[in-house]
Amino acid sequence: MNKPSPQNILISACLLGSPVRYNGTDLLIKHPLLKQWENEGRLISICPEVAGGMPTPRAPAEIISKDGESVLLGNSHVIDNKGENVTKEFILGANKALELAQKHHCVAAILTERSPSCGSNIIYDGSFSNIQKVGAGVTASLLMKNGIKVFNQNQLDDLNNFLIL
Ligand code: SF4
């Protein structure tokens, strides 16, 4: 009998302790479920912004009006706080994340909330004033459009329920 294929999970690299955030820090989370999935070899890690060619550290960036979906449609941009347009890098990183997820047959992703790439429910509003709004980042939007269920780092129990359904 064939062994069932594991349900792999794409994960934001910063959540696994890689210091790839704009300010050179990580957002390591310690949770038994994450440890279990890591030990099972099911976590596929990527930082979409680094994969898109951005350095670490880098200037913080926000989506200027609207959300990641509108960036993918060419109706909005990602700008850093120095005014540089980094839309191209964000879209490239999102595509690389999708490619990696598809290559490893990931059924879901754990992405860092509030990031202009990885946020799935909340992002910043583009004013660089620390104002949050409902919306998804560029990578999260592209994954969702392609049928990959996205959870944030506070929804690991929800993800576990999704996996065992
Ligand atoms: S782009 Fe995503 S993985 Fe990379 S540092 Fe930001 S939140 Fe983490």
Please write the tens of the pLDDT for every residue from 29-43. Answer: 999 999 999 999 999
pLDDT at residue 2 in the model: 53
In this prediction the pTM is 0.96
Residues 11 and 44 sit within 8 Å (Cβ to Cβ):
yes
Torsion, CA 94, CA 15, CA 109, CA 128, rounded to 10: -50
**Rounded to the nearest whole angstrom, what is the distance from the C-alpha of residue 118 to the centroid of ligand 1?**
6
pLDDT tens-digit series, residues 26-79: 999 999 999 999 999 999 999 999 999 999 999 999 999 899 999 999 999 999
pLDDT tens-digit series, residues 69-110: 999 999 999 999 999 999 999 999 999 999 999 999 999 999
Mean pLDDT (whole number) for 116-135: 98
**Rounded to the nearest whole angstrom, what is the distance from the C-alpha of residue 161 to the centroid of ligand 1?**
25
DSSP characters for 95-158?
HHHHHHHHHTTEEEEEE-TB-TTT-SSEEE-SSSSS-EEE---HHHHHHHHTT-EEEETT-HHH
User: Where in the chain are the domains?
Assistant: 8-164
Compare 164 and 105 and report the one with higher pLDDT.
105
Is any atom of ligand 1 closer than 6 Å to the C-beta of 10?
no
